[in-house]
Amino acid sequence: MHPFTYTRAATSEQAVRALAAAGPGARLLAGGTTLYDLMKLGVERPSHVIDINAVQELSGFDTSGPRELVFGGLSRMSDVAADRRLVEGYPALSEALWRAASQQLRNMASLGGNLLQRTRCPYFRGGAPFACNKREPGSGCDAIGGIDRGHALLGGSRSCIATYPGDFAVALVAFDGEIDVLGPNGARSLPVEQLHRDPGDTPHVETSLRPDEVITRIRVPATRAGRASTYHKIRDRESYAFALASAAVGLEMDGDVVRQARIALGGVATRPWRAREAEEMLRGRRLTGRAAEEAGRIAMRDAQPGSHNEFRIELARRTVADALTIAAGRA
């Protein structure tokens, strides 16, 4: 681990000022579940770590409001996952949290930090001798032509095919979640769907956050589609693994006819991936097994396989179909 200095912020404003003062080598410390891991690997080498765990206004959440659900950026994944109103009214959001990581990690990890979790690409995490444009811009991408079984089928570029690993952001994207951020020039909001960037030629720039901004809140508009929802996650084992393919689905139904569908894919793309064409296709249709499978096919229509990950195209199609079936069963 490389030497670094450490300070604690007591308020969001202090954290923002400390970020601005410390410059580009600074990192915020929330749960530490990703940051410390990457620091030990030498992938993250912050010169300055600003601990925001003592910032009171960032913790806590409120799922009782009629218009929106509100989550502090520092609320812990395990606390939110266990919230009864979420479990009953928005199972997709709860499942996306408790199907991630392990209980120990969820106890520590914050929602804001979770949105920013970095890829599990082994060429990114492995360090030398692997080339990685995310880790060292311009060095190349060894995932392309390498062990790409877990890599992105959607959204990749010639510079990077790293999969966005998170689950909660996928569910948020399905439900039009927004984040509030605080920076030196004040507060702003943006849709979670605009938080993560396509890798393009700059895969090291992963989000549209500025380096001196703090995620203060996550907000989700209240919707009837919350109840008939699921986060369906298929992985190499039953727990404690990243998705080979996942689907966050929410449905508003008239009997067995779809009034509105929300579908987002995880584990198969470089960022949380909303499948709007599949949603459109389902609108006004009876949700038969065939329709669900067609939605899966449309969602994966633009998939580009590499050497070892083609099976996940079919897997993702079927994951979407199963997720739609599960969600419909909750309507």
Pick 75 or 133: Cβ nearer other proteins: 133
User: How many chain residues are in contact with other proteins, going by CB under 8 A?
Assistant: 37
**Do 146 and 131 touch, CB atoms closer than 8 A?**
no
Using DSSP bridges, classify how beta strands 186-191 and 257-266 pair: parallel, antiparallel or unpaired: unpaired
Short-list 220, 257, 251, 222, CA closest to 330? 251
From the list 276, 283, 301, 308, which residue makes contact with other proteins (rule: CB under 8 A)?
308
**Would you tell me the crossing angle of helices 289-299 and 311-329 to the nearest 10 degrees?**
130
Structure tokens at 88: 């009953």
From the list 227, 241, 252, 259, which residue makes contact with other proteins (rule: CB under 8 A)?
241
State in angstroms the smallest separation of the CB of 132 from other proteins: 13
The yes or no reply on residue 103 touching other proteins (CB under 8 A) is no
Pick 42 or 60: Cβ nearer other proteins: 42
Q: What is the 3-state secondary structure (H, E, C) of 184-241?
A: CCEEEEEEHHHCECCCCCCCCCCECCCCCCEEEEEEEECCHHHCCEEEEEEECCCCCC
**Do 62 and 78 touch, CB atoms closer than 8 A?**
no
Piece of the chain touching other proteins by CB under 8 A; list 144-152, 212-220, 254-262, 263-271: 144-152
Residues 39-78 that bind other proteins (CB under 8 A): 40, 42
Write the single-letter amino acid at 103: Q
Pick 145 or 255: Cβ nearer other proteins: 145
Write the single-letter amino acid at 211: P
State in angstroms the smallest separation of the CB of 290 from other proteins: 10
From the list 66, 84, 238, 255, which residue makes contact with other proteins (rule: CB under 8 A)?
238
State in angstroms the smallest separation of the CB of 8 from other proteins: 20
From the list 261, 322, 327, 328, which residue makes contact with other proteins (rule: CB under 8 A)?
322
| CA distances, 171 to each of 19, 86, 199, 226 (Å) | 29, 12, 21, 10
From the list 191, 289, 305, 329, which residue makes contact with other proteins (rule: CB under 8 A)?
289
State in angstroms the smallest separation of the CB of 302 from other proteins: 19
Structure tokens at 198: 């396509």
The yes or no reply on residue 305 touching other proteins (CB under 8 A) is no
Which residues partner with 61 through β-bridges?
A: 71
The yes or no reply on residue 128 touching other proteins (CB under 8 A) is yes
Piece of the chain touching other proteins by CB under 8 A; list 128-136, 196-204, 221-229, 266-274: 128-136
Strand order in the sheet with 48-51: 5-8, 48-51, 26-29
Pick 185 or 239: Cβ nearer other proteins: 239
Pick 64 or 128: Cβ nearer other proteins: 128
Residues in the chain: 331
The yes or no reply on residue 256 touching other proteins (CB under 8 A) is no
**Do 190 and 208 touch, CB atoms closer than 8 A?**
yes
Look at residue 170 and give its three-state secondary structure.
Answer: helix
The yes or no reply on residue 23 touching other proteins (CB under 8 A) is no
Chain positions contacting other proteins, by CB under 8 A: 1-3, 40, 42, 120, 122-123, 125-126, 128-130, 142, 145-147, 149, 234, 236-242, 244, 289, 308, 311-312, 314-315, 318-319, 321-322
